[in-house]
């Protein structure tokens, strides 16, 4: 697994873990002073998008453009989460996706 796949995997795994923690442990949402239905829907959305990022981290070794786009999309989508806990997973997913896209563009320009 290359660096971009590893960064995407770590970011997605942390995003999934944090989402599950917020959903399962009610004290976390109380500490964040958010106990609304909307907050839980945003957390579920972040959970789903972290799953997309996880799939992208595995796809990136075979299809770097698709995997990188999936990881960047997951990072952008996870920014909708209100919690500051998602900052590190967002950064890891975004950096991994951008590395994959930049390496793909460089490889495509060298082949031409």
Contact assessment for residue 54 and residue 16, using Cβ atoms and an 8 Å cutoff: yes
Of 109 and 5, which is predicted with more confidence?
A: 5
Judge whether residue 6 has pLDDT over 70.
Answer: yes
* % of the chain exceeding 90 in pLDDT: 38
Mean pLDDT estimate for the chain: 84
pLDDT digits (tens, 9 = 90+) for 52-87: 999 999 999 888 899 999 999 999 988 877 667 788
Contact assessment for residue 57 and residue 71, using Cβ atoms and an 8 Å cutoff: yes
Please provide residue 86's backbone torsions phi and psi, each rounded to the nearest 5 degrees. Answer: -85, 5
Provide Rg for the chain, Cα atoms: 15
* Structure-token pair, residue 38: 């909307």
Cα(71)–Cα(50) distance, integer angstroms:
8
Give the mean pLDDT of 43-51.
90
pTM for this prediction: 0.83
């Amino acid at each position: 697994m290359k660096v971009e796949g590893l960064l995407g995997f770590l970011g997605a795994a942390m995003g999934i873990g944090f989402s599950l923690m917020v959903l399962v442990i009610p004290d976390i949402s109380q500490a964040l002073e958010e106990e609304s239905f909307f907050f839980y829907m945003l957390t579920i959305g972040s959970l789903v998008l972290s799953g997309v990022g996880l799939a992208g981290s595995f796809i990136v070794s075979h299809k770097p453009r698709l995997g990188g786009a999936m990881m960047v999309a997951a990072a952008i989508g996870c920014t909708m989460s209100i919690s500051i806990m998602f900052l590190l997973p967002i950064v890891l997913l975004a950096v991994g996706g951008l590395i994959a896209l930049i390496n793909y563009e460089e490889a495509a320009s060298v082949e031409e």
